[in-house]
Amino acid sequence: MSTLTYHSIAEAQMLPRLVRLGPNLYGAVFTLMKLVPAEYILRRAIERGELEDDAVIVETTSGTFGLALAMQAALMERELILVSDPAIDDNMHRRLADLGAKVEMCTVPAPVGGYQGARLQRLAEIRAGLPSTYCPEQYSNPDNPRSYALVAEQLSRTLGTVDCLIGTVGTAGSMVGTVRGLREHTPHTLAVGVDSHRSVLFGQPDGPRTLRGLGNSLWPPNLDHTVFDEIHWCSAAEAFAQTRALHAQHALFQGPTSGAAHLVAQWYAANHPDQLCVVMLPDEGYRYQATVYDDKWLAAEGYLLAERPTEPVTVGSPAEADDHWTRLVWGRRSYEEVPGVVPRARQTVQERALS
C-alpha cells in the first residue's frame, strides 16, 4: 500500500480536503489556508534573491497569515517579527511566541485605516530600524493570489468543471487567485465573494467589525473587483450561527470565516442545482472554542439568533445593505461602475498606506 509522505507539517496541511456538503456543493476544507501564500511567497522571494540570509521577516497581521508565517519561519530557522492588534487572541499570541515569532501590538487605531493603518505605520518604523528585512506584503504582493493556482489545479483535477466558487474576501488573495486559475480552464466559472458589513472592500463605509478574517478597513491592491459576479455581506451573529451549524450538521470544526462562506454557499447551491459549487473553508475552529463555540459567550455578547436566516435580501447598491445578510449582483464590474459605492477618492489615503 502506498502512503503519501510530506517534507514538513506545513506541507501536509497546505492543500484542502474536498468534502461533499450537498448534492452539488463541495467544501474545500483547509486546516490553515494561509499556508498556501506563506510558503509560496517566501520560496519565490528566496529564488529571486529578495529574502537574504540575514534578513528578518516582518509582516502585519492579526490572523492566520501570521501563524502560517511563524510555522514557515520556524521550519526555515528565520527570525520573524509580526505587528498585530487587539484582535489577536491570547491563545494565538502564545502559539506564535512558541514558534519563535516576536509579536508587537498596536493598541490605538489610526485615524484613517483603523488598526490596520496603525499596524502599517509601526511596520514601517521597524523596517527602518533594521539593517535587512523582508516583508511578504500579503495585501499587495501579487504572489499572494498567484499561490492559489495550486488550489485551482487541485479543484479542476479532482472535480472537473467548477461552475461557481464561493469564499470570503479579506486580502483578496484566495478568491482572486483561485478564480483566475479556474477560469483558465472554464471561463464561465462564477465568483461569489463574502464580505462583512462596514468593510470598505465592496463599497460600504469603514466602521467597527466584530467578524474578523474577512473584510478590511483598507483597500488591498490584490483585490480585483472585476473577478466577482456576486457579493454578499453578513453579520457576525449570522456567521457564528452558521459556523455552529456547519459543525453540528457536517462535523466540520471550522472558524467563523468558514461559517460566513457556508451560509452563502448552501443558499447559492440550493438555488442553482445545475451548477457544481465549491465553498472555501479557510481554517479550523480551535481559536474560537471560548467564543463562537461557547453558548454562554454568544448570549452574553448578544450573538444568539432565534433562528438562522434562510436567504439574503437582494439590493441594488452597497448603500442599501443593512446589518443583515445582503446580496448584490456585482456582475464583474469595476468599483467605479457599481452605483452606491463609497467614492474612490475617499479611499486614497488608505491606499497610500499600503504602498
Give the pLDDT confidence of 272-317 residue by residue, as tens digits.
999 999 999 999 999 899 999 999 999 999 999 988 899 999 999 9
74 against 213, higher pLDDT = 74
**160 pLDDT higher than 50:** yes
Which residues are within 8 A (CB) of 97 and not within 5 positions of it... i.e. 6 or more apart? Answer: 103
Three cell numbers, residue 196: 462583512
Would you give the end-to-end CA distance of the chain in angstroms? 51
Residue 22 is assigned to a structural domain of this protein: yes
Residues 6+ apart with CB under 8 A from 185: 156, 161
Is the domain of 57 the same as that of 190? no
179 and 201 housed in the same domain:
yes
| 155 and 67 co-located in one domain | no
pLDDT the model gives residue 337: 94
- What is residue 212's predicted lDDT score, i.e. its pLDDT? 83
Confidence bin at 77 (pLDDT 50/70/90): very high
- Given this model, what pLDDT does residue 347 score? 43
Domain membership of residue 152 (yes or no) is yes
- pLDDT tens per residue across span 19-76: 999 999 999 999 999 999 999 999 999 999 999 999 999 998 877 899 999 999 999 9
Chain mean position to CA 93: 19
- 262 and 181 both lie in a single domain: yes
Whether the Cβ atoms of residue 178 and residue 151 lie closer than 8 Å to each other = yes
The predicted structure's pLDDT at residue 88: 82
Question: In the chain, pLDDT over 70 holds for what percent of residues?
Answer: 93
* Residues 293 and 184 grouped into a single domain: yes
For residue 348, being part of any structural domain is answered with no
Percent of all residues in the chain with a pLDDT value above 90, rounded to a whole number = 74
166 occurs within a structural domain: yes
Same domain, 227 and 302: yes
Please spell the DSSP secondary structure of 115-170, one letter per residue. HHHHHHHHHHHHHHTSSSEE---TTT-THHHHHTHHHHHHHHHHHS---EEEEE-S
For range 341-349, the mean pLDDT = 59
In-domain check, residue 346 = no
CATH for 204? 3.40.50.1100
Instruction: Look up the domain containing 96 and give its range.
Output: 35-134
Same domain, 26 and 92: no
Q: How far apart are CA 327 and CA 313, in angstroms?
A: 6
Closest to 263 (Cα-Cα) out of 4, 18, 25 = 25
Asked whether 184 and 149 are in contact (CB, 8 A), the reply is no
145 and 68 in a common domain: no
Domain boundary, last residue among 106, 134, 162: 134
The amino acid sitting at 306 is A
Q: Beta strand 80-84 with 102-105: parallel, antiparallel or unpaired?
A: parallel
Q: For position 199, what pLDDT does the model report?
A: 93
Say how far apart CA 238 and CA 350 lie, in whole Å. Answer: 29
Distance of CA 315 to the CA centre of its chain: 24
Interatomic CA distance for residues 206 and 183, integer angstroms: 31
Report the largest interatomic distance among the alpha carbons of the chain, rounded to a whole angstrom. Answer: 61
Q: Is residue 193 part of a domain?
A: yes
| pLDDT class of 12 with cuts at 50, 70, 90 | low
Give 11's pLDDT tier (boundaries 50, 70, 90): low
Looking at residue 117, its pLDDT comes to: 82
Domain boundary among 134, 163, 195: 134
Which amino acid, residue 54?
Answer: D
Task: Please tell me whether residues 173 and 161 are part of one structural domain.
Answer: yes
Confidence band for 354, pLDDT divided at 50, 70 and 90 = very low
Beta carbons of 309 and 245 less than 8 angstroms apart: no
Phi and psi at 104, nearest 5°, equal -105, 130
- Span 156-179, mean pLDDT? 96
The domain boundary residue, chosen from 111, 134, 157: 134
Residue 55 Cα distances to 49, 128, 234, 298, angstroms? 11, 13, 40, 43
Mean pLDDT throughout 224-248?
Answer: 97
Give how many domains the chain has, as a whole number: 2
C-alpha separations of 296 from 245, 261, 293 in Å:
17, 24, 9
Angle made by CA atoms 153, 250, 183, in degrees to the nearest 5: 20
CA 323 – CA 305 distance, rounded (Å)? 14
Average pLDDT over every residue of 190-204:
96
264 in any annotated domain? yes
Same domain, 253 and 298: yes
> What confidence score (pLDDT) does residue 345 get?
47
The answer to whether residue 342 sits within a structural domain is no
62 and 13 housed in the same domain: no
What is the structure's pLDDT at 352?
42
Task: Look up residue 66 and give its amino acid.
Answer: G
Calpha distance 268→192 (Å, rounded): 9
What would the pLDDT profile of 122-146 be if each residue is shown by its tens digit? 999 999 999 999 999 988 999 999 9
Q: Are residues 64 and 191 in the same domain?
A: no
